[in-house]
Structure 1
Amino acid sequence: MMDGSDTQSLQWRKLTSEDLQAMLVIEQAAHSHPCSSSVLLSFLNRPTAQVWGVIKGQKLLGFSIVSVVVDESELINIAVHPQAQGKGLGRQLLQQAIEQLPDTVRGMFLEVRQSNEAAIALYDRMGFIETGVRKNYYPTKQGRENALLMARDFSLES
């Protein structure tokens, strides 16, 4: 069973193309419209992307993908296997991703499904504010739904 509750045994590391299959399992289990293996692989191979994973034993429990361009970053994806959700791993993954950013990065942007209340609450707790809406951005089983745009300005933090 995937259990992220024992934080003493968790390890954090940058992921590589060797982690692609484990990432794909989590992506498919955690998202209604998952990214393809080719999209995940493109981020693993992109020099401007930081892909972090949380591992317990030999098992990948979750990952984050952040794109960094000059002095800005964008949270592309964060996914925790459903069996390991609800234990704070999403918050820890986001915190790890932020801590590993170059000092020159002034902020982070993200898009989140309007219906993803758990993620929105996490981003609120982590200091992100809503900056806009993209209408009909994400596909759903019934059609499309809005994306909330959120941002955190690191230059305002001391």
Structure 2
Amino acid sequence: MWKLLHKLKDAVVYDADREFYAKVFPDSVESKDLLRLRKMDHGDLPSVLKIENLNYDFPWSEGVFKDCFRAMNYVNWVCEAPGDAIVGYCIISVMAGEAHVMNISVSPEFQRQGAGRKMLNHLIEYARPRAEKLFLEVRPSNPGAINLYRQTGFREIGVRKGYYPAKGGREDAIMFELDLVPML
């Protein structure tokens, strides 16, 4: 029963009651609560690539995103605002008891409004029954993301030297880990 519930939750994360209350009582619901996640499909790529290109000097190509669809252990979601506008996306890989956040990105006009936190929490809940640990890397030049990861319970476990391409060379990556299995 639990696995069936997770499969249903993975298909669509949506709360119709919140949307109803937002229409009837607009001040009763925060805009971040109206965001919903759904599985990404090929038709979402133009919106996803637009966000990717706005956020990164060295963005993933369309081919990389298509590879994420083909990889059996990757799961890809988009985050939508009311009206079905894609405001972000996230990709996770789960294999051999470990999960890895491959990419998480929010459109610049929706940053700092809860979309990144909502997607990160979704990835954590997706990974929890499937893995013991969740890993990710982040650029030291991204303090907003670093702060979000720390607030969410991730801990720094190391540095990957020269991991990211950067203007004028390479940039290190800070490695983070989150234990998904409660300690006894």
TM-score (ref. length: structure 2): 0.78
**Does residue 13 of the first structure (1) align with residue 49 of the second (2)?**
no
Using the aligned pairs only, state the percent identity: 36
Larger radius of gyration between Structure 1 and Structure 2: 2
- The structure whose residues are more often helix, as a share, is 2
**Does residue 121 of the first structure (1) align with residue 167 of the second (2)?**
no
Provide the rounded CA distance (Å) in 2 between the counterparts of 1:9 and 1:154. 26
- The structure whose residues are more often strand, as a share, is 1
Aligned to 1:107: 133
Post-superposition Cα deviations, 1:42-68, rounded to whole Å, max 9, x if no partner, equal 112322111111112121000110001
Secondary structure (helix, strand or coil) at the match of 2:53 reads helix
Aligned to 2:18: none
1:102, CA displacement in angstroms? 5.8
**Does residue 135 of the first structure (1) align with residue 173 of the second (2)?**
no
Residue ranges of structure 2 left out of the alignment (5+ in a row): 1-29
Return structure 1 stretches of 4+ with deviation > 6 angstroms.
none
**Does residue 147 of the first structure (1) align with residue 183 of the second (2)?**
no
Matched ranges for 1:9-158 at <5 A: 9-56=34-81, 57-101=83-127, 103-156=129-182
TM-score (ref. length: structure 1): 0.90
Provide the rounded CA distance (Å) in 2 between the counterparts of 1:33 and 1:53. 21
Higher relative contact order (CA 8 A, sep 6+): 1
Provide the rounded CA distance (Å) in 2 between the counterparts of 1:55 and 1:113. 25
